Structure 1
């Protein structure tokens, strides 16, 4: 069981410069006018937390559709994205959409639940508004198959 009571939670938005973050926020607000600046900024953070988990996980991870939209916005700034990957992870993180066998990796929801677990275990903040299909924000019971639960399948990361 993972003890999260004394762990420092990392805000992934600190992984990029304020200028790059402002550019991504503006890009997402242009594409999705209903996004507030505050929500777009939080979305950038969730995308960066996802990328950080991907850089260290040995198993496939999957963004939510909204987090994927933020990743696409970053990918369009290829030079900034390439430099971010090199400086932060020491390698380029490819975006490779494709089919993952549900028998091997679980369905989309299971894969994203594992992704959220990996992000959390890596120490990054999770904003459940960006992972709506998981509906875990209202969980109030112990051992509900979250990363600390003895009912949770073993993570091989």
Structure 2
């Protein structure tokens, strides 16, 4: 595994087949340890990355950075989902709860923030299943347009909410 600088933190995915590394060079890399191959490379932070945490499903990855943000990465899509701002100063650590319904972040501002996810939402799980097990592609004769038809795009999002203490 190669880095410019050094890796600040490493974490295995739940299945134990991949390892993610948090770089001082502001990168996040995901490696397949069976083939010693770089699978994904993210340059989403503007400063060094301090901590990582895989969601129990293995489909999401949190990263904490000196740039003061927490990033939520969608590993199935290979893209940044969210940038979360809640800390004043560098974020030093992140961790998903055992069930994945919450995660926490801690920073140099002496704050521990607890966030709620809805990654287990039935609609989201259905979308993930579709990506993991796509339907059999139709035969060319089945998709040749016999009449005009419209394609609509649907926007799917995942909400992440900061849990605030009850007063």
TM score, norm. by length of structure 2? 0.27
TM-score normalized with structure 1 length: 0.28
Q: Which has the higher contact order (CA 8 A, sep 6+)?
A: 1
The structure carrying a bigger strand percent of its residues is 2
Larger Rg: 2
Higher-helix-fraction structure: 1
